[in-house]
Amino acid sequence: MNKLFNISKKQMFPIGLVLILALSRLIPHPWNFTPVIAVAMMSGYFFKNIYFSLFILLISMLIADVFIGFYENMIFVYLSLALITFVFFKIIKKINFKNLFIYSFAGSLIFFIVSNFGVWASGSPGPGDIPYERNLTGLIECYILAIPFFGNTFLSTLIFAYPTIFIYKSLPTWSSPR
């Protein structure tokens, strides 16, 4: 019973951090300036079980989306976040302040590629409310027009990931997630 309590205690702080990050999406913000990539990265890194990592991520996103409202390309956003979580769970074994910059860029890039592919594939409107053409030219146009949003995605990932990992590593008994 004591072992179960210690495991639970070790997981409560990371769960709380992930939920706070995800629910901070409810605060008004510029386009694509949200903590979602940091949430996906940290849930993949913090937890020992991939299913638990994905569960915490998806539940926290769903809770926020209940308040924000559901949107057309939600499946691609969730898919990109699940992929980021999986990558951080399987590949990233150590996060420090130096490599977090590269990891934040990689997570933002995964999100950019998958979510904008979803915009193009679903026939969502492009500029002037005209859907992107369903060919390679339309896909390239979709990615090019989304580049300005990438800056906010990457910047917000950095701004949310660094304090999260700093706080997590500042607590000596919880500094080793796996």
Q: Is residue 8 part of a domain?
A: no
pLDDT of residue 53: 85
Q: How many distinct structural domains can be found in the chain? A: 1
Sign of the Cα pseudo-torsion (166, 167, 172, 176, in order): negative
CB 170 within 8 A of CB 47: no
pLDDT of residue 103: 94
Tokens found for residue 46: 């913090």
pLDDT of residue 175: 47
Q: Is residue 58 part of a domain?
A: yes
Question: pTM of the predicted model, to two decimals?
Answer: 0.84
pLDDT of residue 13: 72
Q: Is residue 1 part of a domain?
A: no
Q: Is residue 89 part of a domain?
A: yes
Q: Is residue 53 part of a domain?
A: yes
Tokens found for residue 140: 């390239």
**Considering only CA atoms, which of 108, 24, 115, 112 is closest in space to residue 74?**
115
User: Mind listing the pLDDT tens digit for each residue in 64-84?
Assistant: 888 888 888 889 999 999 999
Residue numbers of the chain with a pLDDT score lower than 50: 1, 4-5, 174-175
What range defines the domain where residue 170 resides?
13-174
Q: Is residue 66 part of a domain?
A: yes
Q: Rg of the Cα trace of the chain?
A: 17
Q: Is residue 79 part of a domain?
A: yes
pLDDT of residue 71: 82
Q: Is residue 100 part of a domain?
A: yes
pLDDT of residue 141: 94
